[in-house]
Structure 1
Amino acid sequence: MKRTAILSSILGLSLLTACGNTSDEGGEVNSSKNSPVTSQGKDIPSNSPTNIDTASAYLEVESIAIDGYIASTVFDLDNDGDTLIWGEQDVESADPKRIHVWSGGNHEPLSLDEMKMGSQSLSDSGKVIYNDTDWDQPVSERHAIKEYDPITKETATFTLNGDRDEILAGSRTNYSENPRMFIGIQDYKKDKIRPFVWNMDTNEITDIDLTETIRTETQEELSIYPHYALNQDQSKLVAVVFNVGIIAYDLQTKQAEWVYTTDNIFTNNEKAQSSILTTDDRYVLFYTEDADHGMLQMAFDLETKETFEIGKGITTYPLEDGNVMLITDEEEFHLFNMETKDLSTTFVPELGEDDRIDHYTVSGDGSTLAFVVRDKEDSSTLLIYQK
């Protein structure tokens, strides 16, 4: 069956449109410490969940002025919500100029000379992950991923041995801990789709070639870039292919299978910078465009091969308990129970008339929310809320 592959620019346009949603309801930004946020000052649509659990309300624990603009490429919480990393840039849509880490209630700039701005993320346990490339070294010693512990100030280095001359940009979407695993791309060209899985602890590399699998479905030039995720036991690689479908690849048998095909599928983690897999490895998260070109967040059940709607919104965050946090078009945080399929409102930011949220992130355990509010004067404030 012929499927139409999309260009990255189309996806980027869709995401920029979604990220541009702003709130125009009244109310003021809550700047008082330890005060619960409710839905006061906002009109909630009649078809929206309203059962906010006040017993587990989020309280503001930190308010930090942003120097310039927040960087969309560096904004991440760890699993426990104890550590946050963010980047700052002097103008919008530019490379980050400053990287900061909030950990243990304190925040500080990172001033490691070898760190490349714009490629930082956090591991589940709160280590800063970044790539380090030394072009003066031979290829077998040139590329590495580093882990920086903001508590101990120690750095661990993992060098990719072999002949692969690709920069290793680690993120929450392609890096995982225990064991340390990294999903990279080798020799990426339009006519080749060849990911590899690198066990950073053992330095073992598994090469994968999905070129013919995808070409069989698209029957045309490969102008697509899949998004990948490994399951917990590192036995299966899952790929979401834009406007084509979902592939499950068995790393033991080296067999690839199309488990779902559609001409309307986008990756959910462009904005969230999180995994396309839920933590129980059962569901693949993605979104489709509805009739109004909105983003309808979806899940595919790898066991039953069925799809279902999570809700209309900008993105989703998979949580440690197997459930999902949905960020709606109204920039509210809703919790979706994957078993009961119930959607409940968990947090509604109180925004001023001209305020808007630039970026947001959710900790893996759902205990911590972080987002940046930009006011009409173009001043930005980072707010951190915890249960």
Structure 2
Amino acid sequence: MRNWFYFLCSTVIIMITLAGCSGSNASTSAGGSKDVSAGFKEITSLDLEGPVTNMNFSLDDDGDTLLWGENDGGIGDDLRRNVWVDGEVKSLDIESWDQFAFLTQTGKLINAETNWDADVDKRHSILEYDPITDQTEKFTAQNDRDDILLPGHGTYIQDPKTYIHTETNPNHEDAGIYLWEIGSNEFTDLNFLNDIKSDVGEITSYPHYFLNKDVTTIYATVLNAGIFSYDIEAGKTDKLLDTDEVMPQGNTTTMLTADEKYLIYVTNNSEDYNLIYHALDLETKDSLEIGMGTKVFTLTNGNIAIIDEGEVKIFNFETEKLETIHKIELEENQSIDNLTVSLDGSTIAYGYTTKGEGDQEDTSHISILSNK
């Protein structure tokens, strides 16, 4: 079920990825692709055993930590997982930090763990790993629900430590969601999913949830239905946007802006999977079209970054302008496998593959750029 959940989460992104997933040694590449845009300079280039994969290629807030997975080419599960931190590469235990692990803005890795041999009240946990100290904290759900936990961007926050459990099969009769306040180990059942189902009817894909910082409101994007909010204390659901074009997304970042003024959502209104990003003003409920892209990141200054075919663009809400801050320039025999940006906008990382000539094998690399 867990693989099914995340596979659906990334299907659209895979279909429109910048290049085929065609992602570790800590060596520095002597060559590499050209990066000529003003402002950003390459600070590190890593040689890989295989291309960077599509799942959870991400930087933390200040660009000092990079998480990535790699395989030996093609669409498939990660074979290796690594983290670049403090200028060094650490190999991760792929059993604990598989492609479903994600990086928080503080540079911690988050994933779930299930021990089927344990008693039900000690079976399911969330892990929080600090790659700098190499220490892992475990938070165990002490209840008899026996739910496989699915922490992700928007469903897990670090302060206060809180998790929204989401059902991957929302149309099941007994499907529901709950809030786990990890510090007190308190669980609160929510009516949010049932309210959404009452409005929408049959849900064609699981909703994507985004929790605000003070744990008072949950937002949800629902495929072909719209955007909803849920007041936790009042137990009240509101429909903020009614549209059959919204697509659930959020596997690279929470879609709630850092100042919590906007919820970013994406629509697809063509057969070519041209994804168009929009910002929903959570106070006025007005929508603002931002532009096309393949990935989005909500930055710590309240603005957003959009990745569009090798270009990193920043949308400024004050000026309402979308501007390119960097464009990746490649040789003819090179292709981008994945691209990401730090949440302060200072660092860009991209994985790329150089096609071998004649009998030479393809080679894969990561380039990390900074304007700090």
Task: Give the distance between the partners of 1:223 and 1:311, measured in 2 at CA.
Answer: 26
Correspondence list, 1:268-283, <5 A: 268-270=249-251, 273-283=252-262
The answer on whether the counterparts of 1:320 and 1:365 sit within 8 Å (CA) in structure 2 is yes
Deviation at 1:293, TM superposition (A): 4.1
Is the 2:67–2:83 Cα contact (8 Å) retained in structure 1? yes
CA contact (8 A) 2:67 2:84 kept: yes
Unaligned runs of 5+ residues in structure 1 are 1-6, 23-30, 40-53
Inter-partner Cα distance in structure 2 for 1:369 and 1:201: 35
Percent of pairs with identical residues:
34
**How has the CA–CA distance of structure 1 residues 116 and 342 changed in structure 2, closer, same or farther, with 3 Å as cutoff?**
closer
Counterpart check, 1:171 vs 2:152: yes
The yes-or-no answer on 1:320 pairing with 2:318 is no
Q: Matches of 2:52 and 2:259 in 1, distance apart?
A: 32
Q: Does the alignment pair 1:304 with 2:284?
A: yes
The alpha-carbon deviation at position 313 of structure 1 amounts to 1.2
- Pair 1:333-2:312 in alignment: yes
Give the one of 128, 151, 161 matched to 1:147. 128
- Shift in Å at residue 76 of structure 1? 1.9
TM-score for both structures, normalised by structure 1: 0.83
> Deviation digits for residues 182-239 of structure 1, max 9, x if unmatched?
22225844235522222222222222233442233333x3332111111111100000
Question: Where in structure 2 are the equivalents of 1:66-85 lying within 5 Å?
Answer: 66-85=48-67
Separation of aligned partners in 1, 2:11 and 2:137: 38
Structure 1 residues 354 and 268, CA gap change in structure 2 (3 angstroms): farther
SS state at 2:52 partner: strand
SS for the counterpart of 2:294 is strand
Judging changes above 3 Å, is the alpha-carbon distance between structure 1 residues 298 and 21 closer, same or farther for their aligned structure 2 residues? Answer: farther
Equivalent position amino acid for 1:385 in 2: L
2:166·2:178 contact (CA, 8 Å) conserved in 1? yes
Q: CA RMSD in A?
A: 2.7
- In the alignment, is the contact (CA less than 8 A) between 2:177 and 2:193 conserved in 1? no
Structure 1 CA distance for aligned equivalents of residues 7 and 355 of structure 2: 29
Q: Distance in 1 between matches of 2:305 and 2:137?
A: 32
| Whole-angstrom CA distance in 1 between matches of 2:70 and 2:273 | 31
Residue in structure 2 matching 1:206, options 181, 188, 191: 188
Q: Is residue 348 of structure 1 aligned with residue 327 of structure 2?
A: yes
Is the 2:154–2:253 contact (alpha carbons within 8 Å) kept by the matching residues of 1? yes
1:12-51 counterparts in 2 under 5 A?
14-20=12-18, 37-39=35-37
Distance 2:324 2:11 in 1: 28
Matches of 2:6 and 2:56 in 1, distance apart? 20
Counterpart Cα distance in 1 of 2:102 and 2:114? 16
Which runs of structure 2 are paired with 1:92-171 in the superposition (5 Å)?
92-111=74-93, 115-171=96-152
Q: TM-score scaled to structure 2, two decimals?
A: 0.86
1:287 CA displacement: 1.1
1: CA distance, partners of 2:194 / 2:298: 31
Gaps of 5+ in 2: 21-28, 357-361
Instruction: Write out per-residue CA displacement over residues 104-152 of structure 1, whole angstroms, 9 at most, x where no aligned residue.
Output: 111121248x615222222221122222211101111001111121121
Aligned length: 352
